[in-house]
């Protein structure tokens, strides 16, 4: 679990990755996590589609800012985080892109609360519904890099122009950040 406050915002976030045996019912899992963290908020995504912890943190930051400035597409900060993480403005597309499915074997968890103590406690409660905590699942390996390049439409030329394969995570974060410009 990694925890941070969001600057100039009332929110704290906790982010982590998990290995799961199998997600039999994605809706039931999301529901169980929502109940576990209540009254706080959580979002669960397929970790194979995440470009590192910074990707999720910046999605959370952008979600908080858009919610606080009235620029949010959704009324929920967790849905906004999903939109920014997917670089999509349509919830259905974002869910299709990053949502947990029966094929998911790794998941990423983002929890939102108004204090460090609350976010840590809510995260711990949510974690009981997931598998083995392992933040390595958030990192970009060679196989994930191929998938992320396709999902976020990052070409080899663009990647080389900004620093090579190590820059992929930054480019994915940038895709999400640019979303607010189209609103």
Can you list the alpha helix ranges (DSSP code H) found in 70-155?
77-86, 91-98, 116-127, 142-151
SS3 108: strand
Q: For the chain, how many structural domains are there in total?
A: 1
Q: Which residue has the higher pLDDT, 163 or 102?
A: 102
Q: Specify the pLDDT at position 33.
A: 98
Q: Span 63-71, mean pLDDT?
A: 94
Q: Specify the pLDDT at position 183.
A: 60
Beta-carbon count within 10 A of 37 CB = 25
Domain that holds residue 81: 2-182
| CATH number of the CATH domain containing 121 | 3.30.2380.10
What residues form DSSP beta bridges with 43?
110
CB of 172 closer than 8 Å to CB of 149: no
pLDDT at 182 > cutoff 80: no
What percent of the chain is predicted at pLDDT more than 90? 88
pLDDT at 177 > cutoff 80: yes
Poorest-confidence range of 19-23, 48-52, 102-106? 19-23
Residue with the two structure tokens 């930054």: 170
pLDDT in tens, 21-37: 888 999 999 999 999 99
CB of 180 closer than 8 Å to CB of 173: no
The conformational region for residue 17 under phi > 0 = left, psi -120 to 50 = alpha, else beta, is beta
Q: How far is CA 104 from CA 46, 74, 113, 176, in A?
A: 6, 25, 26, 22
pLDDT at 104 > cutoff 90: yes
Q: Residue 119, class by beta-carbon neighbours within 10 Å (0-12 exposed, 13-18 middle, 19+ buried)?
A: buried
């Amino acid at each position: 679990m990694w925890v941070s406050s969001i600057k100039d915002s009332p929110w704290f976030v906790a982010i982590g990755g998990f290995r799961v045996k199998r997600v039999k019912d994605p809706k039931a899992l999301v529901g169980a996590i929502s109940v576990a963290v209540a009254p706080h908020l959580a979002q669960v995504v397929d970790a194979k589609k995440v470009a590192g912890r910074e990707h999720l943190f910046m999605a959370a930051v952008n979600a908080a800012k858009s919610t606080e400035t009235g620029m949010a597409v959704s009324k929920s900060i967790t849905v906004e985080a999903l939109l920014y993480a997917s670089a999509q403005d349509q919830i259905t597309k974002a869910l299709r892109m990053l949502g947990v499915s029966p094929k998911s074997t790794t998941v990423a968890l983002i929890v939102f609360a108004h204090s460090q103590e609350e976010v840590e406690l809510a995260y711990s409660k949510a974690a009981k519904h997931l598998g083995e905590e392992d933040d390595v699942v958030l990192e970009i390996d060679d196989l994930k890099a191929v998938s992320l390049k396709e999902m976020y439409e990052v070409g080899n030329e663009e990647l080389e122009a900004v620093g090579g394969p190590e820059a992929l995570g930054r480019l994915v974060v940038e895709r999400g950040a640019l979303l607010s410009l189209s609103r």
